[in-house]
Amino acid sequence: MRGFQAIADVSEFDAAVAELDAEEKAVIARVVADVGLLLGGEPFAMEDETLDDDEDPLFRHLRGLETALSDPDDPAVLRVLPNAAPDDREVAEEFRRFTEPELRTLKVDRLRTIWRALSDDGPTWIVPADEALNTAAALTDIRLVLASRLGLETDDDAANLHAEIDRAHDAQTGAYAASAAENPERVWLGMLYEALTWLQESLMSYVMRDDV
Amino acid sequence: MSTQPLIASDVDVATRTGDVWITLVWNDPVNLMSYVTHVFQSYFGWSRDKAERRMQEVHEKGRTVVSSGAREHMEVDVQAMHGFGLWATLQKSGE
């Protein structure tokens, strides 16, 4: 995986491009589609596509994610569509009533756009300049959902997750005896979260290259 | 600054107590410092320097006030922040 950079041939069009292999693209496209479903969107699929990946061990963890996300009371939804007035129920409810459908549509449409970009063939993820901020916003929504699933409530939780992944990685390479506490699904989701964080950070460097 | 006298309706709005609302943006462990800075710049039209200072305030103090005014305007700002995935709330000023 290589993070986003401005496309080399600027004469063509202004865009950021990241390099991802087919598996990385498939994993990210799948989690994009799952978050779209969570937010109430129609399933993302090409017209002639059949979702036949039941035997793929890679997707077993994601299927768990999808199931957990289908619950309308899922706290992940509250991270993406938070309470606008925690101390004033009337204001909060009115805000949700008037803004939530529009916000869900905005977020689902944005996710669908990047899902399509990830479904293109080839080892790249191309983001046109005028889609870059929308893509970063969609990555934020995905990371909010994963963070909810991972129980990241504070800055310390995020730092601890990183340490946890490092320990799991050391265990794999034999430098550390794995403790029973390290849950492979959690480590896997944590690595996905960190990869998306890294991709978003590289995309922001592109977006902010001329900010003054 | 304009020296033109305020028209009556402006005075009404400005002096009615409890009419001023604020939009707050809260810290969360997910949003990137670079992203929050850029959202502040692009939505509020702030310089990079100002946007970075306000982002730092969110990060260090847990929250910052990003706008104030009529409730309907604050609702627009909160909706925009939620659109970007930032955790924003609105409340009456002074509460």
pLDDT beneath 70: ranges in chain B: 1-18
Domain count, chain B: 1
User: Per the domain annotation, does A98 fall within a domain?
Assistant: yes
Q: Into how many domains does chain A fold?
A: 1
pLDDT beneath 70, residues of chain A: 9-12, 46-73, 173-182
> Do A138 and A109 contact (CB within 8 A), yes or no?
no
In a domain, B3, yes or no: no
Residue type, A18: A
Residue B18 in contact with partner chain A when CB distance is under 8 A: no
pLDDT of residue B8: 45
Look at residue B81 and tell me if it is in a domain.
yes
Where does chain A show beta strands of DSSP type E? 2-6, 15-19, 124-128
Residue pointed to by tokens 């627009």: B76
pLDDT of residue A179: 52
In a domain, residue A212? The reply is: no
Using the beta-carbon criterion (under 8 Å), do B42 and A133 form an inter-chain contact? yes
Residues of A in Cβ contact (< 8 Å) with B75: 84, 95, 98-99
Q: Is there a contact between B18 and B95 (Cβ–Cβ < 8 Å)?
A: no
| B95/A contact by beta carbon, under 8 A | yes
pLDDT digits (tens, 9 = 90+) for A19-32: 999 999 999 999 99
pLDDT digits (tens, 9 = 90+) for A28-75: 999 999 999 999 878 887 655 555 555 555 565 555 555 433 334 678
**Predicted ipTM?**
0.84
Residue B61 lies in a domain: yes
Residues of B in contact with A157 (CB under 8 A): 29
Say which residues have a Cβ less than 8 Å from residue A10's Cβ, sequence separation at least 6: none
Q: Which domain holds residue B58?
A: 9-92
Q: What is the pLDDT of residue A60?
A: 56
Does the pTM exceed 0.80? yes
Please report, for the domain that includes residue B74, its CATH number: 3.30.1390.10
Residue B50 forms part of a structural domain? yes
Q: 10 Å Cβ neighbour count for B83? A: 20
What are the start-end ranges of the H helices in B20-70? Answer: 33-44, 48-61
